[in-house]
A = this chain, B = another copy of it.
Amino acid sequence: MSCHQVLRENGHRLTPQRMLVIEALHNADRHISAEELYKQLHSRYRYANISTVYRTLELLKQLNLVTEADFGEGRVRYHVAEKGHHHHLVCRSCGKVIDLEDVALRPLKDTLLQKYGFDADLRHLAISGKCSECRKKKRGA
């Protein structure tokens, strides 16, 4: 089911601004920030406003059409929910983001449920640390 349909079915209007935000979210090849969405929107429609971007994101979040991810940058990034879940390894030295397979977190999720009765939401988890290259550099230096 498309974002457009979900909006309509929940009684929300399909405004040009919303359609542009949704399009930008779908075209993004990675998690995208509100500011980046706003820039894209603004380049296509001069009177675009960042408030509208935030309000649209809030709406899409409520409808479970987008999810948030926090990479510890002091801002949140957004991602189309239907694109599936991602896990990331963020290198503290060079900033590189490594995608992590879902299976790598499966054992953890199972452990938490069994031992703590806790249903962990590991969608868009970001783990910080140091990537192999930066570890090599450090050792060399």
Q: Which A residues are closer than 8 A to B by beta carbons?
A: 70, 72, 89, 91-92, 98, 100, 104-105, 107-108, 111-112, 115-122, 125, 127-132, 135
Q: Is the CB of B121 within 8 A of A100?
A: no
Of B89, B118, B119, B120, the residue contacting A120 (CB under 8 A) is B89
Q: Is the CB of B112 within 8 A of A127?
A: yes
Q: 23 A-B residue contacts at CB 8 Å?
A: A89-B116, A89-B120, A91-B118, A98-B118, A100-B116, A104-B108, A104-B111, A105-B108, A107-B107, A107-B108, A117-B131, A117-B132, A118-B127, A118-B130, A118-B132, A119-B130, A119-B135, A120-B127, A120-B128, A121-B127, A121-B128, A122-B127, A122-B129
Q: What's the number of copies of this chain in the assembled complex?
A: 2
Q: How far is the CB of A141 from chain B (nearest CB, A)?
A: 16
Q: How far is the CB of A58 from chain B (nearest CB, A)?
A: 15
Known A108-B107, A125-B127, A128-B121; contact A98-B116, beta-carbon cutoff 8 A = yes
